[in-house]
Structure 1
């Protein structure tokens, strides 16, 4: 859409944040704690971002950060703390003691939409500004020292301009921020996987105390949890399949087949109240900065959910960015801002590698040869029989150090 040449209302802030997902909300909290003004613009309503159900696994350092910021009370009451995971293949189960291998670190299963609810409530209570339901968002002047964000508060409202020193594009893969970087300077790397996940939420008690990742000849399966009453499970499927082809009976049949083991473990069924199919990709955009615009979270990178890295990478991005902005406003230093992309990408590519590794090792790719499938099984066998390999997996899973 062409940009308007005039606006009816003019606003000013230090950092304009596009997107109220995990990246944008965490950044707003971090900046406000440093005394930096910011405004968050979000195209969806508050109800939409809070009620869109998405799973979430938080690395140890993210849990620690939320607690340090005073945002973790409900997470500590309602989250599920896992000290390990189970890898299941060839009908056998193998426990990976992540806490024992990493000096006590663990992960917390706490859904992303619950994190968003906590961050939104705390930000608004603290006097922060989130503009929900905005439209026609356009970024201007990102290569100048006076960038701005044009938007409408309602579809029929006047076009306004939010003038700022810096813009943080936290608006996801389909948002306008990445598109504001000229194609000539944007390098995009992508892998689209030939499989997807069919995910369900079911009313049932936990079938297992921790996550189970299963490699089966019929395809991958994952058992997770949401609460003592609600469980989340996934099975590998064709990403182009129609969810209407999957009856509840068919889903349960596949889950039983793929998650079974030789020790007689059984899966507890319940009423399925949500189901859907998601495609999977790996994606990275370089650089993550152009002029006064910084990309963070899904606007800059996507990982398949197998490695449980998406939300954690978003928080890592904005933690780096908030520190760089703090140094700029306190002492005029720009080295952190100039290094932002390189610093973030070093961590991102490690997470991309781990997510790709977990995904290819655990799934059955229909295009693979029997040789390649046997290599993946050998990889799993090596992981569960080598302490060094188990440690490497555990270190990546619970989260690499931020510094």
Structure 2
């Protein structure tokens, strides 16, 4: 077995693990990233791309914002429709901040490039990852790679390995409390090489179900419609998708939509999930390893970034001054913000979707809530503050 040492082992080579590694590097803190798949596989995953103000600041601090600033699309607001009615929530007016539309794949690509330029250590195709002695001052991680066993001694372990990873399961089950809500529908999404129907996102509440008009750039659109959990992408031809999407949008929006062949088509289930605590000894959970939100509020990557912010600053204080308060309080501080993001995502999902067995009364309540949001500046400010990202 090969034996090596580092300061922080980061399990998971997605955007949260890479961002943490890059931020630590800027402060002179060494890390090793372990990724189960290949780099090409990680970069092939299609994910949301609405970046909160906090994540934008972290990208700048990490020194990886140049392409994001030049190619990303700044959004000062969003559009919400119900029936043929549509209104705009102005983020800039209510908060002084915007969000950035920049694909998660591009964020990940920029972070890989930065880590490679600086000689960052990233190991791909790792298997059999195990975390040992997390409750001691001398944790270590073992794994195999190409049939060879490896051990990495470290000070801390960051679990950025997603919902199905090993990190959360390392915390004894009797010490974990898990909260979950599974939504009774999914999102059927397509990616198409077509110009977006709007320069800002459109969230639609329709009698036929929810729809979302989004984009990756000026020539690449991402569209979604609410569907049954039992549905399959192969059940939907491109023509059937476009027809159904148009039915869920205001007529003037549907009339100007440019359609085309799908590049990618998939169905994503929706769930809310939180694991408490997010720290066990010297093991810290980040992102999907600890929590999941429905994609309605664009909080998945952004909530992972807030975890990275708290953990990075806690580790930075520890290594620079010996102050342990940041790592000691990590779980409580991170969870406080996580639950607020969960609340916003749950609220927005409940407002915009049609639920099985939804009564006429329930529908009237949705319409009343939408009309209140349309007419009330305080309600719009609350939504805008949550959408652009609560402060860290």
Aligned counterpart in structure 1 of residue 67 of structure 2, from 69, 74, 77: 74
Taking the TM superposition and a 5 Å limit, the aligned residue runs for 1:295-374 are: 295-374=285-364
* Cα offsets for 1:32-62 (capped at 9, x unmatched): 1111111000001011111222221101222
- TM superposition shift of 1:240: 2.1
Pair 1:18 & 2:8 matched = no
What runs of 5+ residues in structure 1 fail to find an aligned partner? 1-7
Contact 2:54 2:306 in 1 (8 A): no
- TM superposition shift of 1:371: 1.4
Contact 1:30 1:319 in 2 (8 A): no
Q: 1:198: which partner in 2?
A: 188
Q: 2:226: which partner in 1?
A: 236
Distance 1:275 1:379 in 2: 32
Taking the TM superposition and a 5 Å limit, the aligned residue runs for 1:239-318 are: 239-261=229-251, 265-318=255-308
- TM superposition shift of 1:90: 2.4
Contact 1:93 1:261 in 2 (8 A): no
Taking the TM superposition and a 5 Å limit, the aligned residue runs for 1:126-141 are: 126-141=118-133
- TM superposition shift of 1:265: 4.9
- Cα 1:334–1:67, aligned 2, differ >3 Å: closer, same or farther? closer
Contact 1:92 1:261 in 2 (8 A): no
What runs of 5+ residues in structure 2 fail to find an aligned partner? none
- Cα 1:12–1:97, aligned 2, differ >3 Å: closer, same or farther? same
* Equivalent position SS for 2:152: strand
Pair 1:95 & 2:79 matched = no
Contact 1:141 1:148 in 2 (8 A): yes
Pair 1:381 & 2:374 matched = no
Contact 1:88 1:261 in 2 (8 A): no
* Equivalent position SS for 2:357: coil
Distance 1:40 1:273 in 2: 31
Q: TM-score, normalised by structure 2?
A: 0.98
- TM superposition shift of 1:208: 0.9
Contact 2:83 2:249 in 1 (8 A): no
Pair 1:115 & 2:110 matched = no
Distance 2:254 2:197 in 1: 13
- TM superposition shift of 1:12: 0.5
Distance 2:267 2:129 in 1: 29
| Superposed CA RMSD | 1.2
- TM superposition shift of 1:227: 1.8
* Cα offsets for 1:256-284 (capped at 9, x unmatched): 10012468753221121211111010000
318-327 vs 114-123, greater mean Cα deviation: 318-327
- Cα 1:353–1:44, aligned 2, differ >3 Å: closer, same or farther? same
- TM superposition shift of 1:9: 0.6
- Cα 1:386–1:130, aligned 2, differ >3 Å: closer, same or farther? same
- TM superposition shift of 1:74: 1.0
Distance 2:6 2:357 in 1: 51
* Equivalent position SS for 2:203: strand
* Cα offsets for 1:154-181 (capped at 9, x unmatched): 2xx2211111111000000000000000
* Equivalent position SS for 1:96: strand
Q: TM-score, normalised by structure 1?
A: 0.95
Q: 2:134: which partner in 1?
A: 142
- TM superposition shift of 1:186: 0.1
- Cα 1:265–1:68, aligned 2, differ >3 Å: closer, same or farther? farther
Q: 1:158: which partner in 2?
A: 148
* Equivalent position SS for 1:17: strand
